[in-house]
Amino acid sequence: MLYIIGLGLYDEQDITVRGLQAVKKCRRVFLEAYTSILLVEKEKLEHFYGKDIIVADREMVESQIEVILKDADREDVAFLVVGDPFGATTHTDLELRARALSIPTKVIHNASIMNAIGACGLQLYRFGEAISIVFFTDSWRPDSFYTRIAANRQRGLHTLCLLDIKVKEPSLESLARGRKVYEPPRYMTVNTAIEQLLEIEENRGEGAYGPDTLCVGVARLGADSQQIVAGTMKELRQADLGPPLHSLVIAGDTHVIEMEILSAYRIHGASSPGPSAVQCETH
């Protein structure tokens, strides 16, 4: 059996009881480590699960999938995913590959940013299509998601922005020289995401959003140190939400109850409706 198991958002204890039981009986355990990260070291997972863990980077998952699926028709193999197993299309592809080889699969779900984002006070059923924002480069500044933000806002819906992470990414210079040298890990902050969004709006000029658009920045959701900060794009551009991981919500039309909750997360000195509050750390 191939088990595809969600780990939740924070640490080694966020795995479900069912997921932990599955891990303990598996011969091999892989940890997918490039679409997201847990906020604890691999060694803590190994100690808690009682299993050695093989880190599966992008290269293994996308180009060496046979390493993971090897003998999974004769023994139990676990593939661990931060959040929920279907938070990335890569994991759907893994299940399809296993089925094509007649390997039985079982998915064990968990919390992900897609549902836990409701902690920010915006109601989940009022969210539209989510988008991903990648790091700009000198020659690549993609903005294809702009029309989706605009469509969500026209319908009064909120937009969850998933922010880029770069883990074990080869540098372009090294690839050009025919050998891989990996860049240090990078994690997009709310500040960088907003800077890029505002640059896109300035270039497009179609009014999907602007410096005064209400947003919510979220960091380390589910951790003891999680941060939730509400403010305009201009305000959040300067906010310090601390270490990764960060996410951003661009608000659509807001219900009075949503505004009441957001008022508790307003960045200090904000001028939007509702009582102002200092930047909040929630537990």
| Residues of each annotated binding site for S-adenosyl-L-methionine | 9, 84, 87, 112-113, 163, 221, 246
Amino acid code (one letter) for 151: A
Binding site membership: which residues? 9, 84, 87, 112-113, 163, 221, 246
Nearest to 159, CA basis, from 280, 266, 31, 252:
252
Nearest to 248, CA basis, from 268, 270, 232, 269:
232
Q: Are 219 and 226 in contact (CB under 8 A)?
A: yes
Q: How many CB atoms lie within 10 A of CB 240?
A: 12
SS3 track for 95-154: HHHHHHCCCCEEEECCCCHHHHHHHHCCCHHHECCCEEECCCCCCCCCCCCHHHHHHHHH
Specify the 3-state DSSP secondary structure of 232.
strand
